[in-house]
Structure 1
Amino acid sequence: MKQLTVKLCAAVALASIAAFGAQAQEAKTISIAYSVDVLDETQNQALDAMKSRVEEINASRKDVKVTLDVYDAQSSVDKQISDVQTALIKSPNVLILSAVDAAGSLPAAQAAKDAGIPVIDRRPSDPEPDVYSVAFYAYDEVRYAEATTNWIKKYLDANPGKVLNVGLVYGAPAQTAQLRRADSVKELAKQQPDRIKIVTEGYGNWLTATAQNLTQDWLLAHPDINLVVCANDIMALGASNALQSAGRTDVMVTGYDLTDDGVQRVSANTQTLTVGTVLKDSNQIIDVAVGLAENTFKDKTFYVNPVYAIDPSNVADFLSKTKN
């Protein structure tokens, strides 16, 4: 009897070991390659949120192990294409692409598709090329632009005697989707020509220093300018710096991306408006990537919600709700 009991215990132990081994083998690695156009302040904050989401999934799920390999294209199309070729050697399950150039970076996406790897477009263009599996609208240009133009309309309604003399600071010319951020103000100016006048425009190329130099020049050439619309908060910082140096507290500055610094400038009254989604919500792209790898995500588009328009009237409330 004792011998039988020993044999049964041994059998149970072996079965447990086998079951544990089977469970361990069932943990599937989901590898995600992320080719980002440039790791600037905004993209670094988004990347931190993505890495945190990877950690959360790995901590909560024992059946998968998610990995994230990041490639910084440093604003170079050639480097992005080369980076993706390097990434494809590792045969990732999913490629996330934040394109340097909507057209120039297409060969990178095409190479992944040809290799049978689904591609998420983090900078969707209109129309969306069919090489992409999912258009991920972290930066939804239509909703972003609408939030800014709605804010301008409300401002004009509240200030019926005011005429806005506007300078437009675009991002990089090759990234055509973002042009809508400033172009929407042009369209509004056509609708209300007696209230909005576009006096100047230029490309800031997403750089603080470039936007600062542009604004300094504009203050000399167009002393009546009273609104600078920037395509992101990094360039809005440059405009703000130029205005503070010139002592021009009468000029409003708007930006996009809802960066921590941008929100703080709104709170300090050195920036008037920032529009965007909360950067930490960019982590949702990891769930989309995992869904693609597991064949559970079937949609062609994904929109991060909500879009905020933060100005001095609501910045304190926003900070109190999002401080954690």
Structure 2
Amino acid sequence: MKKILSLLLCAALVFSLAACGGSGSSSVSSSAGAAAGGSSASQGGEAPLIGYSLNSMDSTMKQMADFFEETAKAAGWEPVLLNANGDVSAELSNVESLINMGCKAVVIMGCDNEGSAPAVKACGDAGVPCIVAGRAINADEASYYTFVSGDHHLAGEVQAKFVNDYLAANPDTVLNVGFIYGQSGSSSVAARYQGFEDDCLSLPENEGRVNLVAEQYAEFDAEKAYNITTDMLSTHPEINCFVTQTDDQAGGIINAIKAQGLPVEDFLIVSIDCSSTGIDYLKSGELDATVLMAMRQLAVTAADYVQKALDGETVEKANPIPEYYQLATAENVDELLKANGMA
């Protein structure tokens, strides 16, 4: 059994190296190597293996992975992190690998609201507690232990408030918005947009002052956001505001504006994540605002429920994280990161 487990972990590490080179679909944390050395409970040691299935490895998810790994190690576990690169087939394969490795629980940040359900079901079928984190997955409740997340509608509300405050401070300004969504098929993406629509686009007082002129999905990809922005600027030269759902996409937007020879300062650009990428653009003055996701708190909360699962406790099927989304600007970002344990 030890030899088989070691081979599985080595295979996962091969996927990790391939993914770092841009050609693979999976990645694994370095702590899996330690697990292969015999520290997991399934191998007779004291530290249980805990699996983490990540939907991607953009700048935000890299930071999220660090927090997951940090909190798992602090709890005395051996974390194994696998990356699906947005592919639900790879996600299912990753989760099956985590189960076969002997993980005592699996945390899933799903690729797709519907398409990730088989990965959750695999955990349920194997009797492995599954903690769905960050993004809802339409799986049978019997298949997972609990769902922990912030209120994604609130993320859009925070963006809306920033835009509304900008309009109040600039009463002669009319904003023509290009909205660039994240991943298609994601309930969190839909909820974020709905929050922005409800609290900004649909407000009677904003009629004629905020116009949604173009919208498209960029799948949380900077290059796609770049190409979409280029097309939008060509088709709708009146656009002077971009609202997007990830800092990587904001980077694509900013670079596309620059490539057109247009002044970035002429555009209001609002994002979500407060990742290292977003922070750099905030401090350069090219990004006006982003929405901090309290990623460390998500990792801590997920770890709390992993422990409850290991202890055999019964919990609610949904456990929201209060104040998960907060506005970040160049002026408050350092203080905000410290307050949320992210600096």
Fold match by TM threshold 0.5: yes
TM, length-normalised to structure 1: 0.81
Structure 1 segments, 4+ long, off by >6 Å, are: none
Matched residue, 1:276 = 292
Identity score, percent: 23
Q: Tell me, what secondary structure is at the counterpart of 2:75?
A: helix
Letter in 1 for 2:303: I
Quote the residue 2:130 is aligned against. 119
3-state SS of 1:200 partner = strand
Distance 1:146 1:88 in 2: 38
What CA deviation, in whole Å up to 9, does each residue of 1:261-311 have, x standing for no partner? Answer: 202211211001110224333431223212221235734314164422012
Partner of residue 209 from structure 1, selected from 223, 227, 245: 223
Q: Sort the Cα spacing of 1:93 and 1:305 in 2 relative to 1 into closer, same or farther, 3 A.
A: farther
Counterpart of 1:106 in structure 2 is 117
Give the corresponding residue for 1:134: 146
Q: What one-letter code is carried by the residue in structure 2 that aligns with 1:97?
A: I
The 8 Å contact of residues 112 and 137 in structure 2, kept in 1 or not, is answered as no
Cα separation, partners in 2 of 1:123 and 1:314, compared to 1, 3 Å: closer
Q: Distance in 1 between matches of 2:130 and 2:262?
A: 48
Conserved in 2, the CA contact under 8 Å of 1:273 and 1:309? Answer: yes
The alignment covers a number of residue pairs equal to 291
The aligned residue for residue 16 of structure 1 is none
Work out the CA distance in 1 between the residues paired with 2:92 and 2:269: 36
Cα gap change, 1:238/1:279 in structure 2, threshold over 3 Å: closer, same or farther? same
| 1:319 Cα offset (Å) | 6.1
Deviation digits for residues 234-269 of structure 1, max 9, x if unmatched?
100011111233222211111111102202211211
Please say if 1:86 is aligned against 2:97.
yes
For residue 220 of structure 1, what is the amino acid of its counterpart? S
Structure 1: distance between partners of 2:159 and 2:109: 23
TM-score by length of 2: 0.77
CA-based RMSD of the aligned residues comes to 2.4
- Segments of 5+ residues of structure 1 without an aligned counterpart are 1-25, 59-65
Q: 1:135 is aligned with what amino acid?
A: F
SS at match of 2:266: coil
Q: Tell me the equivalent position of 1:310.
A: 328
Would the alpha carbon gap of residues 101 and 194 (structure 1) be closer, same or farther in structure 2, given more than 3 Å must change? Answer: same
More displaced 10-residue stretch of structure 1: 84-93 or 247-256: 84-93
Do the aligned residues in 1 keep the contact of 2:230 with 2:256 (CA within 8 Å)? yes
Matched, 1:31 2:49: yes
| 2:69 alignment counterpart | 51
CA 164–121 in structure 1, closer or farther in 2 if over 3 Å, else same: same
CA distance in 1, matches of 2:140, 2:274: 28
Q: CA deviation at 1:44?
A: 1.2
What is the deviation of 1:126? Answer: 7.9
Partner secondary structure for residue 272 of structure 1: coil
How far apart in 2 are the matches of 1:319 and 1:96? Answer: 24
Query: Is the counterpart of residue 289 in structure 1 residue 303 in structure 2?
Result: no
Verify: 1:223 aligned to 2:237, yes or no: yes
* CA separation of 1:305 and 1:184: change in aligned 2, threshold 3 A: closer
What residue number does 1:23 align with? Answer: none
Once residues 303 and 323 of structure 1 are traced to their aligned partners in structure 2, the CA distance between those partners, rounded to angstroms, is 16
Contact 1:93 1:118 in 2 (8 A): yes
